[in-house]
Amino acid sequence: MASLKDMRNRIASTKATQKITKAMQMVAASKLRRAQVAAEAARPFAERMDRVLGNIASAVAGSDSAPKLLAGTGNDKVHLLIVCTAERGLCGAFNSSIVRLTRERANALTNQGKQVKILCVGRKGADQLRRQYSSQIVEVIELRGLKTIGFENAAKIAENIVARFEKGEFDVATLFFSRFKSVILQVPTAQQIIPPVFEAAKAAGPAAAYEYEPEEEDILSELLPRNLSVQVFRALLENAASEQGARMSAMDNATRNAGEMIRKQTLTYNRTRQAMITKELIEIISGAEAL
């Protein structure tokens, strides 16, 4: 059995850990608000841009003059999986849920005879995927040290993806991230971005005829790379909010668990101390009676 001193040290260590987890919970709560506002502000623009491009793309669908980013290569043999995760841990199942979805997609594609390449944005996802797919990871982009994620960061990632596509390194690109719903709910999401898959717009009335100036192909050639940057930026903002929400929830659970451990350790300490005192009193009384 541990001595009373060891028990006191254990209780003090658990209390110190509880202070740390409580502080991390408060920091995550303060960061969550800003990250949530940024993610929610990016959604309407990204969705509207996706809808506009979908309308324009429908006008050139099947045309030989359609941009390559829209039409694709015509094959789907090589798939690039762009996995966006966090740079830090201690955020519950946030990173592992995205990696799990990526593994499921990679295994399904491999079983179909497809070639899989992985581009990791974030160190934690790369660390987990490297155990099984080390030879398939083509690059790891770290965002460590950034206080806030800017559009320029997403634009550089999008330029990297477009450059690889133009070199013929892959046929289909899919973006993996976590969509923020609430503090306790973050939804792992896979979104195909090359060639883009546009959601069918719900018509509220008769379809209107549009004339474009310049031509549809010219508009798409300009907007498709920008839309790629917008979708990557949206994914990074959703990830930032999801990470802070997951960390806040995880640290809250850790703080509660530490409190329960302190209660049990204190109870054990008091019982052990009382037993030792009782034992000493019995020994003193027994000794006095023997005299």
Q: What is the pLDDT of residues 212-245, one digit of tens each?
A: 667 777 788 888 889 899 999 999 999 999 999 9
- Domain of residue 180, CATH code: 3.40.1380.10
Kindly state whether residue 192 falls inside one of the protein's structural domains: yes
Look at the block and give the residue holding tokens 């206080």: 147
- Per-residue pLDDT, 222: 83
Which residues does 169 contact at the CB level (< 8 Å), separation at least 6? 78, 80, 117, 138
Q: Mind listing the pLDDT tens digit for each residue in 244-284?
A: 999 999 999 999 999 999 999 999 999 989 988 888 888 88
Kindly state whether residue 74 falls inside one of the protein's structural domains: yes
Alpha-carbon span 127 to 83, nearest angstrom: 12
Please tell me which residue in 35, 42, 57, 91 is annotated as part of the active site.
Answer: 91
Kindly state whether residue 54 falls inside one of the protein's structural domains: yes
pLDDT score of 201 more than 60: no
Cα distances from 48 to residues 3, 24, 43, 185, in angstroms, run: 66, 36, 8, 25
Tokens of 14: 């658990």
Kindly state whether residue 133 falls inside one of the protein's structural domains: yes
Q: Which residue range is the domain that position 122 belongs to?
A: 20-198+215-251
- Per-residue pLDDT, 208: 56
Tell which residue, 198, 174, 178, 197, has the closest CA to residue 186. 178
Kindly state whether residue 231 falls inside one of the protein's structural domains: yes
Would strands 185-194 and 78-84 be described as parallel, antiparallel, or unpaired? unpaired
168: left (phi over 0), alpha (psi -120 to 50) or beta: left
DSSP 139-170: EEE--TT-SS--HHHHHHHHHHHHHHHHTTS-
Tally of domains within the chain:
1
Kindly state whether residue 170 falls inside one of the protein's structural domains: yes
- Per-residue pLDDT, 15: 94
Kindly state whether residue 29 falls inside one of the protein's structural domains: yes
**Residue 91 appears among annotated catalytic residues:** yes
Kindly state whether residue 270 falls inside one of the protein's structural domains: no
Residue 77 has φ and ψ, to the nearest 5°, of: -80, -35
